[in-house]
Amino acid sequence: MKQRGFTLLEIVIVLVIAGMAMALVLSFSGKGASAADLKASARALAAGLRTAQSTAMATRRDSLLTVDVDSRLFSFSGEDKPHKLPDGIDLKLYTAQAEVETERKGSIRFYPDGSSTGGRITVSSGERKYLVDVDWLTGRVSIGE
């Protein structure tokens, strides 16, 4: 009488092959930031922009949010410690020429009446991206995909 089933060796071989396939899939999908990190970064930038606008209106002085694209740091007027965005996040800054410090660093300025120089910060990782827009007339901050 023959017994049906798998031998221990066959099961071990299948598990090893499945483990190698899983490691291969994770190594390809591990590049860049996760979707949650990407969205959280866009929200953090938007919150920083809104804080800069509120600061300008409350103090009746211009307020800036400065972005360093290479090091993924941003800070706003009146704050000593810059905020760091996660690794794997790519940033692009579009702002008024007067607010560009270097090729990879610039600011978005808010005025005491709530308006701003306007601009856009693109937060991306691979194919996914979020657009953090600042309307120059109203200073309104919005996040789009």
Instruction: Give 97-116 pLDDT, tens digit per residue.
Output: 999 998 899 999 999 999 99
How far apart, in whole angstroms, are the C-alpha atoms of residue 89 and residue 123? 7
* Residues 134 and 94: beta-carbon distance below 8 Å: no
| Domain boundaries of the chain, sorted by first residue | 35-144
- Which pTM value belongs to this model? 0.76
Residues of the chain with pLDDT under 70: 1-2, 26-33
Listed in sequence order, the residues at least 6 apart from 63 whose beta carbon sits closer than 8 Å to its beta carbon are 52, 53, 55, 56, 76, 77, 78, 109, 110
Query: The domain 35-144 belongs to what CATH superfamily?
Result: minor pseudopilin epsh domain (3.55.40.10)
